[in-house]
């Protein structure tokens, strides 16, 4: 099987429309020598291919109306040449660069070949925008004298914004290191949704359960909810969102459960499959770390070791303002 390689490279400069910064398109592809190719493969390609960064193009009515997906399909079918598709990608990015926090930057469009695809290989289009330049010191040798000078450039091992669009299917790997404030790279430019994996789904489930636990005001009821969830995770191989939702509805209104799931879906970029089983032990271990801090009322929390669970809280407040809390704890059997 062929090793991944860099076939073509084009560089364009994309500005911010809201600041009147113009788009500068290169009229030819860039020559790529072996040293540049090695840096791109070790930095951009290696840094973006990960299950945690797997997304899928989407459109509300027809996937072919997703502009970036449409452009790249035209290229892979041979209807657009490489420079033309790179320029269309740059124009599309410029059109969506209007948020005041979006910086001007260099856009690198890279054609990769030899990417794994089952027992075969496929091509991929890499789209990387560099918004932050790194400063370097370079040593210059002349005769017996060494001088130091300053240089500024792009670090391919530190991806600001990137995407790898694969030839076969609507899959795209994406990363947006600086996108906490705008999110335009994923939502507007790529228009892509996260493809859930076991790790991200389990983490999302834990965050939903933690939010629901915080919605339970009574410390004793909160403790019972946590014990029931942890017991379920200890006894089952897999747990589904539908199971934990049904359990949570005994403690909080159904609309709270739906809202917690909707909030998590918006944050993660995908919704949990209600009937999909998640590894119970993974969920249990995450919850055990998260739920070691237990609220006992009056704004007070205590840290409990994993072998103890809170069964009840009694409080008394005398006339002199002294508050007494009595906690009833249960020691779990060692085999749990």
- pLDDT score for 61: 81
Same-domain check for residues 167 and 23: yes
* pTM score above 0.75: no
Residues 207-228 have pLDDT tens digits of 999 899 888 888 778 878 888 8
Residues 174-183 have pLDDT tens digits of 999 876 656 7
Cα(59)–Cα(57) distance, rounded to whole angstroms?
7
Q: Tell me if 336 is assigned to some domain.
A: no
Could you list the residue range(s) of the whole structural domain that residue 76 is in? 5-194
Residue 335's pLDDT band (cuts 50, 70, 90): very low
Same-domain check for residues 136 and 255: no
Same-domain check for residues 159 and 210: no
Q: Tell me if 274 is assigned to some domain.
A: yes
Last residue of a domain, one of 136, 159, 194: 194
Counted domains in the chain: 2
Last residue of a domain, one of 173, 194, 215: 194
Cα(128)–Cα(108) distance, rounded to whole angstroms?
5
Same-domain check for residues 307 and 188: no
Same-domain check for residues 164 and 107: yes
Same-domain check for residues 103 and 229: no
Same-domain check for residues 284 and 175: no
Residues 306-325 have pLDDT tens digits of 667 677 778 888 777 788 88
**Residue 248 above 80 pLDDT?**
yes
Last residue of a domain, one of 194, 224, 244: 194
Count of other CB atoms within 10 angstroms of residue 201: 20
How far are the Cα atoms of 11, 103, 171, 271, 302 from residue 254, in angstroms, in the given order?
52, 43, 35, 17, 28
């Amino acid at each position: 099987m062929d090793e991944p390689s860099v076939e073509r490279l084009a560089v364009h400069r994309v500005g911010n429309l809201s600041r009147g910064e113009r788009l500068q398109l290169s009229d030819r592809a860039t020559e790529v020598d072996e040293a540049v190719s090695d840096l791109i493969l070790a930095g951009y390609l290696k840094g973006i291919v990960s299950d945690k960064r797997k997304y899928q193009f989407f459109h509300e009515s027809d996937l072919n109306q997703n502009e970036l997906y449409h452009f790249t399909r035209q290229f892979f079918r041979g209807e657009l040449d490489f420079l033309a598709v790179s320029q269309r990608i740059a124009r599309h990015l410029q059109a969506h660069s209007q948020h005041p926090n979006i910086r001007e930057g260099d856009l690198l469009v890279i054609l990769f070949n030899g990417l794994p695809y089952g027992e075969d290989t496929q091509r991929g289009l890499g789209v990387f925008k560099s918004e932050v330049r790194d400063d370097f010191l370079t040593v210059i040798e002349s005769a017996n004298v060494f001088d130091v000078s300053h240089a500024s450039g792009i670090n391919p091992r530190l991806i600001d914004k990137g995407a790898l669009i694969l030839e076969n299917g609507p899959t795209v790997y994406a990363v947006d290191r600086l996108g906490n404030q705008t999110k335009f790279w994923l939502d507007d430019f790529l228009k892509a949704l996260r493809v859930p994996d076991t790790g991200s789904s389990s983490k999302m489930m834990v965050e939903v359960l933690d939010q629901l636990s915080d919605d339970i005001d009574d410390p004793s009821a909160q403790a019972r909810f946590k014990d029931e969830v942890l017991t379920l995770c200890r006894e089952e191989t897999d747990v589904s969102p539908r199971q934990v939702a049904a359990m949570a509805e005994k403690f909080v209104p159904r609309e709270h459960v739906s809202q917690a799931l909707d909030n998590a879906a918006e944050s993660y970029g995908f919704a949990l499959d209600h009937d999909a089983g998640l590894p119970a032990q993974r969920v249990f271990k995450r919850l055990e770390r998260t739920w070691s801090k237990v609220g006992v009322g009056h704004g007070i929390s205590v840290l409990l070791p994993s072998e103890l669970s809170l069964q009840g809280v009694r409080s008394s407040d005398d006339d002199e303002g002294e508050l007494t809390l009595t906690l009833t704890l249960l020691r779990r059997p060692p085999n749990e």
